[in-house]
A and B are shown apart, each in its own frame.
Chain A
Amino acid sequence: MDEFAVKVFVRLRPSVLDPAGEATKSASIKLGAEGIKSLRIGKMIELKIEGNEENEVREKIDLLCDRLFTNTVIEDYEYSLKKL
């Protein structure tokens, strides 16, 4: 059985206002950083998971992302997967 390292990135959908991102953008500008056009805050979830095949692992990750890691009403996700 192989082990896979997975990184899941969760983002608010573009249509959902991100007030924390707006506040951080405003602070970034106050810090003196110029040219910031947009700033949005998401989450990153790291996990290690065992599986025989990559497809089987991907199915599990899709289930976790769709049902637990994200609320698809407000969030999108993508993930990277690396065999260890």
Chain B
Amino acid sequence: MDNFTVGVVVFPGSNCDRDVSWALEGCLGIKTKYLWHESSDLSDVEAIVLPGGFSYGDYLRCGAIARFSPLINALDDFVKSGKRVLGICNGFQILTESGFLPGALVANKNLNFICDDSELDIVSSKGGWFNNGDEKQTIKLPIAHGEGRYYCDSDTLKKLVDNELIALRYRNNPNGSSFDIAGITNEKGNVLGLMPHPERACDEAIGGTDGLHTLKSLITK
């Protein structure tokens, strides 16, 4: 376990890569390695985080260009092997654009960039990303996004509900997301995408520790 290394992907325009690395290493003692987006060698990392930011300037659509990077191409086999991938904010947008997760993220209903704390209900325990030992069913994580409104058609929504793929729902839907969705997993549960930032809630000194469990759960036996 000491050698367990989490790869933190760096795209041109990523700006939460260092936050994620700080939270993993400084708060949890988990080793990290930055992975440049042009790399396709994922052999020495056991889990991957796609951090927040504005990859490729968010040109065309958020996450649309990042999808064509060598690293995202290599992610397919990584995910199929069952290893864990966490996409936060822009990382979630990249996961939907590249088809690892269904749906899409579009401009917030009120067109504002929302920077706030959000109360979130843990809906599914799939993948164990949020299943705290203390049975806490509501957590508080910061959000910071302009394009975080989750959208999917009604068939996809039904599939998400029926298969328990909705991980998190906003208590006070700030951006107009379908069904208050803040985060979803794939069917296997090894890929999680969410708009809130767990890496910004890993120390009491900055307002809370509700994000620790999610980062800790990157570690698998």
Contacts and interface: CB of A to CB of B under 8 A. Distances in A.
B174 to A, nearest CB: 13
A20 B107 CA distance: 8
B104 A71 contact: yes
B175 to A, nearest CB: 10
Contacts of B64: 68, 71
B36 interface: no
B111 A23 contact: yes
A71 B107 CA distance: 14
B79 to A, nearest CB: 19
A71 B111 contact: no
Interface stretch (A11-19, A31-39, A50-58): A11-19
B60 A69 contact: yes
Interface residues of A, number: 12
Interface in B88-116: 96-97, 102-104, 106-111
A1 interface: no
Contacts, number: 33
Contacts of A47: none
Given A16-B106, A68-B60, A74 B111 contact: no
B61 interface: yes
B104 A17 contact: no
Interface size class of B (residues with CB under 8 A): 10 to 19
Residue from A12, A17, A69, A71 whose CB has the most chain B CB atoms within 10 Å: A71
A20 B147 CA distance: 12
Contacts of B78: none
Interface of B: 60-61, 64, 68, 96-97, 102-104, 106-111, 151-153, 176
21 contacts: A12-B106, A15-B153, A16-B151, A17-B109, A19-B108, A19-B109, A19-B110, A19-B111, A20-B111, A23-B111, A68-B68, A69-B60, A71-B61, A71-B64, A71-B97, A71-B104, A73-B151, A73-B153, A74-B104, A74-B106, A74-B151
Interface of A: 12, 15-17, 19-20, 23, 68-69, 71, 73-74
